[in-house]
Amino acid sequence: MQWTRRHLLGLEGLGREEIVTVLDTATIFKEILDRPVKKVPTLRGVTIANLFFEASTRTRMSFELAEKRLSADTINFSASTSSVKKGETLRDTARNIEAMMVDMVVMRHSSAGAPHFLAKHIDASIINAGDGTHEHPTQALLDLFTMREHVGDLKGKKVVIVGDVLHSRVARSDVWGLCAMGADVALVGPTTFMPSEIEKMGAVVSHDLEEATAGADIVNILRIQRERQDGGFLPSLREYTRLFGVTAERVARMRDDVVIMHPGPINRGVELAPDVADGERSVILEQVTNGVAVRMAVLYLLSRVRASERTEETELLAEVKV
Amino acid sequence: MSRILVKGGRVVDPVVGVDDTLDLVIDGGKIGEVSKSIEANDVETTVEADGLIVAPGLVDIHVHLREPGNEDAETIESGARAAAHGGVTTVAAMPNTDPPIDSASWVEFVATRPAAVSVHPIAAITMGRRGKQLTEMSELRDAGAVAFSDDGCSVLDAGLMRRALDYARMVGLPVISHCEDPTLAGSGTANESYSSTRAGLTPVPAAAEEVMVARDIILARTTGARLHVAHISTAGSVELVRRAKADGVPITCETCPHYFSLTDEEVLSYDSSVRVNPPLRSAADVRAVRAGLADGTIDAVASDHAPHTHEDKEVEFDAAPPGMIGLETLLPVTLTHLVLEKVLDLNRAITLLTAGPAGVLGLAAGTLSPGANADVCIIDPTATRTIEPSWFVSKSRNSPWIGRELQGFAVTTIRRGEIVSAEYDRAGGDAGADTEDRARRRGKLAVHA
């Protein structure tokens, strides 16, 4: 198995082998979730802190469930109840967490690079659960997992990501992951939602939804935040929907077996029509289920690296004593 | 006041057109004789400068000394010591303190604080730097202000900027413009580029700077006022200034060491020491800035020394205040990245650090001609050093150069005939027991009682 990293800060730089390792591991864990007793003792004695400095429901619940399925001890920390509101710095918060002998930290933060900052300051393994508009690696991994379940090997498969790429950490992680897997990636959305030089990541950019989705194996639709029309990025949500909304009519012109995905939460009727979201091509709820298995896989793989470090330390100490 | 003989150095003074191995006598705080083999018996101090460069004391026209208001990060006294350590003998201090320097009494405060180097106050263009009402420019000038700037932000109201330039023309001082359109820059923290996309940092387009440079060039042409553009960082800004100069617009501009040595890829580390405003730009911008330095479009290199406490900077990238300290690395970064990389010859580099900036603000500094103030920077061009936090004299340590190697350092700084910094007497942090040997080897600096 190919996994030697102690943190998962992003998918940038991850190779195909590493991603396949996570997906294969997740396949094993997904089988556990189908059992009557959905719990294994894999992470018994491991303490995990879930630090959510930004509101999150599904990601936080998904991680928490993954941790509990693996028998880890978990503590939760969210910005609304924390000392952050009292003016404590991230560094001090981190040091306090560390003083509690936490092994792993799952972190969501509104600042890009906040998990990298944390990784520099504490010894625990860090999992990025979304940092600003940078990355959301576990979301991308669960996307890749779901895609693989439906279309097999992603090499050469045509994947279209639609929406607000500029403000999307999911899009960035998806592009890194898909490119590493050898997929052909197209990003579709208005010009105002395309980050500078995004093509360099390996994707092509289009502003024509129908053209881009013709022949696509997978269409992944990003959430459009309602406040974007106030920032001058969009004339109106109505205009966005007219150009880029994924409607049943448009899906009918796509491949018959196209897979429709969305990281959630959905703005029904804006980026995605309700009948498509709930329709037979949609795998949106499967993504949620798979998210738990994928996060179990990530937690397991990172904990194994920590455990092997500790074993080496112990062996080293033993040698010194001899 | 002591007599000092600086012996056997390569004296470089682009103003006089000197570049030769010469001796130099300092007497009564002024430059005396400069010639071959001066035999002087009545000197108190002889500085053996064999193998060293003897240049005019450096002039840094863009520094933030944080006093009044943020003395934890820097004071005028500590900033001046940092300047001396970096070979800088004259600084112009920006008015974005707390409170801002917008009254005669605050100008006098800055101008008269005890300091190891000459500190010239720059006063605000508008009261409180709020961009609403002009300051009392003539009184500020009489109190010692050498220019006006609302540095940190642009005067957004074009009509008011036009009046400011018009009025400053009467007062006879330049206006220094921080060119940044906040409607384009937004809350951005990184240059709009593949780097900002990869890092997921909110982008600042080059246009945020260039739109204001263009506007202010047009206003300078309209008013005939002296405009100086601070810290230009993009290829477009360089080109705008180049064309304006060709058109005869009364404009000068500066850039900073980080805009010709570092690129926006630095932000991928999320290290807040590279969070600066304007942001580090692309490799193409760096090349254009270098070309502008070489062809005379850019008149001065200034540090934009911006001290911040460790507590303020040790935070998430986008929460960190922008700015980096630079007084002490101004010279070595210029020598390492412009002279060693053969972008400029030594004479041009020295000009950009001395006579160039002195000319921008009309300061009596930047030359070693006889009778001039004895401000001298003695440089060891071969000295290399990996920058460590403890090497800095500034109260702050927010430098992107920590951990990187630079070559060419000031070893002795003389201001108005007094040695205000010398490598041999620096305590702590600096090579410890090795110091004397180092002085002998590099500085060859002998002090006679």
**Using CA of residue A239, residue A243, residue A244, residue A250, what is the dihedral sign?**
positive
Catalytic residue list contains A289: no
Q: Average the pLDDT over A244-248 and give the result.
A: 97
In this predicted model, what pLDDT tens digit does every residue of A164-199 receive, in sequence order?
999 999 999 999 999 999 999 999 999 999 999 999
Phi/psi at B352 (5° precision) = -65, -20
To test the contact with chain A by mutation, choose from B193, B197, B267 the residue with the greatest count of A C-beta atoms within 10 A, namely B197
Distance CA B415, CA B118 (A): 8
| B328 contacts B295 by C-beta, under 8 angstroms | no
Q: Report the half-sphere exposure of B30 (CA within 13 A, side-chain side).
A: 8
Question: 3-state class of B346 per DSSP?
Answer: helix
Would you call A136 a catalytic residue per the annotation?
A: yes
Q: Measured between CB atoms, does A192 come within 8 Å of chain B? A: no
Tokens of B20: 């030769």
CA angle A114, A117, A123 (to 5 degrees): 120
Set of chain B residues whose Cβ sits within 8 Å of the Cβ of A89 = 311, 314-315
DSSP string, A133-149: TTB-HHHHHHHHHHHHH
Going by C-beta distance under 8 Å and a sequence separation of 6 or more, which residues neighbour residue B304? B62, B63, B64, B230, B231, B256, B276, B323, B324, B326
CA distance to A290, B34, B274, B345, per residue, from B266 (Å): 36, 44, 7, 27
A106 CA: distance to closest CA in chain B (Å): 17
**Tokens representing residue A138 in the block:** 């576990």
What amino acid is encoded at B379 in this protein? I
- What's the pLDDT tens digit per position in A157-167? 999 999 999 99
Show residues of chain A in contact with B314, CB under 8 Å: 89, 91
Chain A interface includes B413 (CB < 8 A): no
What is the CATH superfamily name and number for domain A137-285?
Answer: Aspartate/ornithine carbamoyltransferase (3.40.50.1370)
What is the DSSP secondary structure assignment for residue B9, as one 8-state letter?
Answer: E
Residue reference for tokens 């129908």: A210
Q: Which residue among B192, B317, B318 places its CB closest to the CB of A196?
A: B192
| End-to-end Cα distance, chain B | 14
Q: What are the tokens at A169?
A: 């950490």
CB contact under 8 A, B314 and A91: yes
Nearest C-alpha in A relative to B206: A196
Q: Does B187 touch chain A (CB under 8 A)?
A: no
Confidence of residue A322 (pLDDT cuts 50, 70, 90): low
Minimal Cα–Cα distance from A179 to chain B, Å?
14
What does DSSP say about strands B251-255 and B227-229: parallel, antiparallel, or unpaired? parallel
pLDDT at A170: 97
Cα–Cα distance measured from residue A171 to residue A162, given in angstroms and rounded to the nearest whole number: 9
Do B69 and B61 contact (CB within 8 A), yes or no? no
**B56-361 is classed in which CATH architecture?**
Alpha-Beta Barrel (3.20)
**Domain ranges for chain A:** 16-135+287-307, 137-285
- In contact, B272 and B313? CB cutoff 8 Å: yes
Q: What DSSP string describes B182-201?
A: HHHHTT--EETTHHHHHHTP
Q: Which CATH architecture has domain A16-135+287-307?
A: 3-Layer(aba) Sandwich (3.40)
Query: Domain segments of chain B: what residues?
Result: 56-361
Residue A83 has a pLDDT of 56
Residue A285 CB neighbour total at 10 angstroms: 11
Could you give the CA distance from residue B106 to residue B149 in angstroms, rounded to a whole number?
Answer: 15
CB A201 within 8 Å of CB A175: yes
The reply to whether residue A201 touches residue B198, judged by beta carbons under 8 angstroms, is yes
Pairing of strands B376-386, B4-13: unpaired
**Mapping DSSP to helix (H, G, I), strand (E, B) and coil, where does residue B31 land?**
strand
What's the helix, strand, coil split of chain B in %, to 5?
Answer: 35, 25, 40
Distance CA A148, CA A165 (A): 22
Length of chain A measured in residues: 322
Lowest mean pLDDT across A65-69, A94-98, A279-283, B154-158: A94-98
pLDDT in tens, chain B (449 residues): 679 999 999 999 999 999 999 999 999 999 999 999 888 778 889 999 999 999 999 999 999 999 999 999 999 999 999 999 999 999 999 999 999 999 999 999 999 999 999 999 999 999 999 999 999 999 999 999 999 999 999 999 999 999 999 999 999 999 999 999 999 999 999 999 999 999 999 999 999 999 999 999 999 999 999 999 999 999 999 999 999 999 999 999 999 999 999 999 999 999 999 999 999 999 999 999 999 999 999 999 999 999 999 999 999 999 999 999 999 999 999 999 999 999 999 999 999 999 999 999 999 999 999 999 999 999 999 999 999 999 999 999 999 999 999 999 999 999 999 999 998 543 333 433 444 444 444 444 433 33
**ipTM value for the complex:** 0.93
pLDDT score, position B403: 98
Interatomic CA distance for residues A260 and A284, integer angstroms: 7
Structure confidence at residue A4 (pLDDT): 95
Among A121, A72, A79, smallest CA distance to A295 is for: A72
